[in-house]
Amino acid sequence: MAEMIAFCGIRCERCDTFRATQADDDAKRRQIAERWSKQFKADFRPEQMNCTGCRSESGPVFFYCAMCAIRQCARKKGVLTCAHCDDYGCSTLQQFWKMSPENKHLLEEVRKGLKG
């Protein structure tokens, strides 16, 4: 599977929801919903576990991604990823990186490639 990078730096091919969608695996969707419900103390349902990547124009997007401030901003600005944005490192990304620092590393690598 080719690498797909979300606006925020999440690698789609490593995302369980993306992989369950690609495989059309209902058992995996149930497992993810159960795990995330416990992990995030929220009510996730298997039917919510569908995503073709937040940059997708035609397929389903995980329900949280549909309302994600990072996704909304990047789509409005028309950038491929946040690494391509003139406002890179904005407060919205800073907040996200506190929760998911590994995504900052990937975006930093993308930015280095843009300068080279």
What are the tens digits of pLDDT across the range 37-85? 999 899 999 999 999 999 998 889 998 888 999 999 999 999 999 999 9
pLDDT at 3: 78
Tell me which residue range forms the domain holding 89. 12-115
Q: Vertex 10, ends 102 and 27: CA angle to 5°?
A: 115
Residue 1 lies in a domain: no
Residue 2 lies in a domain: no
What average pLDDT does the chain have?
Answer: 93
Residue 29 confidence (pLDDT) above 90: yes
Residue 1 confidence (pLDDT) above 60: no
Number of domains present in the structure of the chain = 1
Q: What average pLDDT does range 81-107 have in this prediction?
A: 95
Residue 3 lies in a domain: no
Residue 53 lies in a domain: yes
Long-range contacts, stretch 90-97, CB < 8 angstroms, 24+ apart = 93/8, 96/8, 96/70
pLDDT at 116: 64
pLDDT at 115: 79
Residue 54 lies in a domain: yes
Residue 34 lies in a domain: yes
